[in-house]
């Protein structure tokens, strides 16, 4: 017997989006997890057919062992090789009945130290880690020091030259709003539309660290790293402030600069409608206590 959610029937498949008329099998439950990971040792988040080490592959193996059945999952946003996550959200469907601590402590006991489940919560079948998300936020961390940092090197991008973060911030404001970001997406990006809406792009310095916080409804492949490549060229004085807007207007990837390194990029927040009642955690990385929107550059 199945529990029917209001009428426009669609066959059930594990982890799929449940529409208003969808069917969710009796005895099945949907669980959401928040994941933190150091992406330096992984070939991205998504499981690969070649069998290389990925965050998803490690998670699914650990979850399957705890559930005593094969578990697959869906994530809010796939991150590239070397990119980190402080609040990645995933969900999975399972018939296994387990206390929530089994999905946290039990799974963490089977994961490498570079991956950790921060919280677990049972959710309505209407929740979908990817499709229910309203917007996503990334932070890009730059270590602006004369010598290469030894601590935290994998979680930061090192720039030796003096960086003018205020020039970067001024340039970045041309990217805020709804635009065609063709110039800022990877040539192999498979998104149907290059149009995205950046809600804000803030930049601030904390000692030798520069933090860029960018929030949008969604991101294109390599979009944040390509934006950072342009902004860093402006920050070190290789390009004028106006260049970011000129690249945007060109709608041509060849007009932009290099793709910035993945080291400093962190997926720090996924926003969902309040009725899902998911736990709230600090964005991170852990050496920053600021909440979202607290990195504000001030005009001189």
How many CA atoms, within 13 angstroms, populate the side-chain half-sphere of residue 63? 28
CA-to-CA distance for 165 and 261, rounded, in angstroms? 18
Whether 92 contacts 76, CB under 8 Å: no
CA-to-CA distance for 174 and 118, rounded, in angstroms? 36
Catalytic residue check, 80? yes
Neighbour tally for 267: CB within 10 Å:
30
- Residue count of the chain, please give it: 300
The residue whose two tokens read 């570079």 is 114
What tokens does 12 get? 């059930």
CA-to-CA distance for 236 and 154, rounded, in angstroms? 22
CA-to-CA distance for 45 and 37, rounded, in angstroms? 9
CA-to-CA distance for 136 and 271, rounded, in angstroms? 6
How many CA atoms, within 13 angstroms, populate the side-chain half-sphere of residue 119? 12
Q: Is the dihedral of CA 35, 39, 44, 48 positive or negative?
A: negative
CA-to-CA distance for 284 and 192, rounded, in angstroms? 31
What tokens does 260 get? 């910035």
SS3 214: strand
The residue whose two tokens read 């720039």 is 159
Catalytic hit among 53, 68, 80, 180: 80
Residues that are catalytic: 80
């Amino acid at each position: 017997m199945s529990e029917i959610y209001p009428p426009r029937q669609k066959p059930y498949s594990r982890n799929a989006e449940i529409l208003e008329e969808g069917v969710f099998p009796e005895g099945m439950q949907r669980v959401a997890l928040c994941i933190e990971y150091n992406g330096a040792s992984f070939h991205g988040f998504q499981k690969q057919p070649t069998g290389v080490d990925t965050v998803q592959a490690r998670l699914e193996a650990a979850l399957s062992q705890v559930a005593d059945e094969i578990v697959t999952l869906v994530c809010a946003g796939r991150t590239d090789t070397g990119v980190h996550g402080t609040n990645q959200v995933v969900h999975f469907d399972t018939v296994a009945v387990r206390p929530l601590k089994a999905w946290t402590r039990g799974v963490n006991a089977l994961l490498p130290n570079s991956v950790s489940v921060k919280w677990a919560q049972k959710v309505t079948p209407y929740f979908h880690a990817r499709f229910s998300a309203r917007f996503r936020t990334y932070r890009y961390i730059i270590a602006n020091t004369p010598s290469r940092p030894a601590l935290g090197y994998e979680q930061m991008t090192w720039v030796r030259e003096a960086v003018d973060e205020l020039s970067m911030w001024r340039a970045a404001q041309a990217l805020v709003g709804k635009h065609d970001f063709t110039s800022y997406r990877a040539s192999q990006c498979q998104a149907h539309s290059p149009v995205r809406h950046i809600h804000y792009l803030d930049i601030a310095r904390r000692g030798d660290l520069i933090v860029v916080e960018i929030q949008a409804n969604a991101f294109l492949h390599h979009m944040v790293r390509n934006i950072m490549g342009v902004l860093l060229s402006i920050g070190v004085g290789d390009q004028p402030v106006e260049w970011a807007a000129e690249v945007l207007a060109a709608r041509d990837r060849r007009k932009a600069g290099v793709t910035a390194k993945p080291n400093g990029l962190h997926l720090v927040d996924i926003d969902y409608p309040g009725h899902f009642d998911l736990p709230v955690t600090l964005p991170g990385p852990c050496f920053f206590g600021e909440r979202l929107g607290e990195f504000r550059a001030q005009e001189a």
